[in-house]
Chains A and B, each alone.
Chain A
Amino acid sequence: QVQLVQSGAEVAKPGASVKVFCKTSGYTFSDYTIHWVRQAPGQRLEWMGWIQPASGKPKYSQRFQGRVTFTRDTSATTAYMELRNLKSEDTAIYYCARVLDTINTSCYGRWGQGTLVTVSS
């Protein structure tokens, strides 16, 4: 079955970087775009962008442009999200999500379990 398993919780200091992975299984990794979504405590879902695993092409929300990088390792069927220059307001649960199917690419059929990133000095 389709699974997205994310790395564990992280604690980082302001100004540092964090890299979260999203290990996928149960489907052809290259065929489905992976998105990244975050949710600060008690707050709404916030779209961060996506990566096309086949080409490695990313798309970033303007809000994170210049501070975030999406990469992937096709041999490991894993997607990565690195966020740099962390601020306290980056404290959030970070989710990876796979698009529903190869046609419906603007919604998510599967989510990772989420990775809590806490930014604190």
Chain B
Amino acid sequence: QSALTQPASVSGSPGQSITISCTGTSSDVGSYNLVSWYQQHPGKVPELMIYDDNKRPSGVSNRFSGSKSGNTASLTISGLQAEDEADYYCCSYAGSGILVFGEGTKLSVL
């Protein structure tokens, strides 16, 4: 199972919106509504931000939203804040109990 494809880095200014893409295949992202997104600050444990393509766990800011089209899922962060600077990973169910993570994207808030 190959890693899902994410851009290595994205950047934005405070207050702006950014979108991180996550491209898989028809065997994973495109087949199931089970893409999740994790935020990981340096030296910290990952935190769930989006699950089931577009659902937010309780406590996660509504500035974070998820969507999907075909084999590509996206995470959008609106009203960018300095604290959003982190690494972001997508994860998808790939059938038969298998999960696959993305390559990770480093978000810089300029």
Which residues in A have some Cβ–Cβ distance to B below 8 Å? 35, 37, 44-47, 50, 59, 61-62, 95, 100, 104, 106-109, 111-114
Q: Does B64 contact A (CB under 8 A)?
A: no
B57 near A100 with CB under 8 A, answer yes
Question: Does the CB pair A45–B51 fall under 8 Å?
Answer: no
Q: Is the CB of A44 within 8 A of B3?
A: yes
By Cβ-Cβ distance, the 6 closest A-B pairs, closest first, are A107-B36, A107-B51, A106-B93, A59-B97, A106-B34, A44-B104
- Complex-state Cα separation, A100 to B49, whole angstroms: 12
For A95, A107, A112, the residue with the greatest tally of chain B CB atoms inside 10 Å of its CB is A107
Knowing that A107-B34, A107-B52, A108-B38 are A-B contacts, what are 4 other residue pairs whose CB atoms are under 8 Å apart, sorted by A's residue number?
Answer: A44-B103, A44-B104, A61-B98, A106-B32
Could you say which residues of chain A place their CB within 8 Å of the CB of B89?
44-45
A100 to B40, CA, bound (A): 17
A111 to B45, CA, bound (A): 7
Question: Count of chain B residues with Cβ under 8 Å from any Cβ of A?
Answer: 24
- Whether A47 contacts B51 in the complex (CB less than 8 A), given A61-B1, A62-B1, A111-B45, comes out as no
Query: Is the C-beta of B100 less than 8 angstroms from some C-beta in chain A?
Result: yes
The CA of A44 and the CA of B57, in the complex, are separated in Å by 23
Q: How far is B101's CA from A18's CA once the two chains are assembled, in angstroms?
A: 24
Q: Which residues of chain B from 18 to 66 have any CB-CB distance to chain A below 8 Å in the complex?
A: 32, 34, 36, 38, 40, 45-46, 48, 51-52, 57
Chain B residues within 8 Å of A61, by CB: 1, 98
Q: Which residues of B contact A46 (CB under 8 A)?
A: 101
B91, CB-defined interface residue at 8 Å = yes
Complex CA–CA separation, A12 to B52 (angstroms): 38
Q: Is the CB of A109 within 8 A of B57?
A: yes
B102 touching A59, Cβ below 8 Å: no
In chain B, what residue has the closest Cβ to A33?
B97
- A107, B1: Cβ atoms under 8 Å? no
Kindly list chain B residues whose C-beta atoms are within 8 Å of the C-beta of A62: 1
Bound Cα distance from A80 to B36, whole angstroms: 25
Q: How many whole Å from B94's CB to the nearest CB in chain A?
A: 9
